[in-house]
Amino acid sequence: MRKIQMVDLQTQYEKIKEEVNAGIQEVIDNAAFINGPQVKTFAKELASYNKSKYAITCGNGTDALQISMMAFDFQPGDEVIVPAFTYVATVEVIALLKLKPVFIDVTADTFQMDVNQLRGKITPKTVAIVPVHLFGQCSNMDRIMEIANEYGLKVIEDTAQAIGARYTFENQSVAMAGAIGDIGITSFFPSKNLGCFGDGGAMFTNDDVLGQRLQMIANHGQKQKYYHDSIGVNSRLDTVQAAVLLVKLNYLDDYSSARSKVAENYDRAFEGHANIIAPSRVKNSTHVFHQYTLKIEDADRDELKTYLADNGVPSMVYYPVPVHLQNAYTGYGYKEGDFPIAESLCKKVLSLPIHTEMKSEDQDYIIETIKRFF
Ligand SMILES: *Cc1c(COP(=O)(O)O)cnc(C)c1O
């Protein structure tokens, strides 16, 4: 029996092996390893999937965030509003570009940016808001776009965990995650919902000028080879990864449904449990369940985690420390107590195995083991 894993990429690969291998072989046969035709084709298909005018591929999700921030005329010291409860990459690029991360707390039920606190974070130096569609569902994009438009702020959606999620606005129009703000970014890290066999990332935009700028910055700031109009970076999706992604993109919606089924089984199993709070759904967004994240109440989360590990059930804490309390970010002057929800979530959350190949007997065993702990 194969061990239960957080994510089962081997079994997923087995099912698409022939298609993927043929795609990779073609790249090798043609030896166009950098900027081969598959990269362009994938970018086109990705844009079409995401209902965005442009998708610009790059080396990874962190680069995608950085290139996005570079595409605007932000000045050192300008402020960017970002949730305290996120993966560090979102904040790292803000700091690297000498912008100032201004943290905002999240809501205790959906883990998304608390839009009720948003206006209070805006100062004359604010230039952008970076909503993170954490764990696979969208932040409240109605309020975020409304406030951004009112104050003339840019919006960069971090869609690294939510590719394929759909957001329904209050006026009933629908958009894909990452196609709502000025720019949306995603990551093709292997365990992401659309993962490749190495690193990869992409940026989405509907704006012609931004589309060109993103492409240019990702490619050493050049439009024409050896003529550099701006300072850029070297960040490319390689052709082998594009070939893999071309195959996997066709399965992305199936993968999302498979994850949803696993999530619904967990929901049913934990309903009404005194110590286990299943993840709440954002009203206006579908959930693609990059993570299925419980809150453990009135019990020791870390003891549960150890108990599960001892019984062959992996689990993960995303994230154990909020970004404002990470050693690297103490220089911004935040302290314990500043973002109480983010801080308390770090003590309570526990993400369970969820992936496209979950066997029902494995899931039954996971559920049974969790319940046995209490
Ligand atoms: C994975 C992730 C990133 C970074 O993506 P990489 O491809 O690993 O650089 C950024 N933001 C969030 C929320 C992520 O989950």
Give percent of the chain with pLDDT exceeding 90: 98
Beta carbon of 160 within 6 Å of any ligand 1 atom: yes
pLDDT computed for residue 360 by the predictor: 96
User: Does the annotation count 335 as an active-site position?
Assistant: no
Structural domains present in the chain: 10-249 (3.40.640.10), 252-373 (3.90.1150.10)
Beta carbons of 65 and 82 less than 8 angstroms apart = no
State the DSSP string of 185-204: EEE--TTSSS--SS--EEEE
Which residue lies with its CA nearest to atom 3 of ligand 1?
A: 61
Beta carbons of 101 and 326 less than 8 angstroms apart = no
Beta carbons of 125 and 77 less than 8 angstroms apart = yes
Kindly give, in sequence order, each residue whose CB lies less than 8 Å from that of residue 313, ignoring residues fewer than 6 positions away. 4, 353, 365, 366, 369, 370
From the CA of 132, give the closest atom in ligand 1: 13
Mean pLDDT of 68-76: 96
pLDDT tens, residue by residue, 317-328: 999 999 999 999
**CA–CA gap between residue 214 and residue 217 (Å, rounded):** 5
Omega of the bond leading into 329 within 30 degrees of 0 (cis): no
Mean pLDDT of 11-37: 97
pLDDT above 90 for 337 = yes
The token duo for 247 is: 């195959």
pLDDT tens, residue by residue, 131-144: 999 999 999 999 99
pLDDT above 90 for 175 = yes
- Which letter does DSSP use for residue 18 in this model? H
pLDDT tens, residue by residue, 177-195: 999 999 999 999 999 999 9
pLDDT computed for residue 73 by the predictor: 86
* Residue 61: how many other CB atoms lie within 10 Å: 26
Which residue lies with its CA nearest to atom 5 of ligand 1?
A: 61
Beta carbons of 102 and 94 less than 8 angstroms apart = no
pLDDT tens, residue by residue, 104-130: 999 999 999 999 999 999 999 999 999
pLDDT above 60 for 55 = yes
pLDDT above 60 for 208 = yes
From the CA of 189, give the closest atom in ligand 1: 7
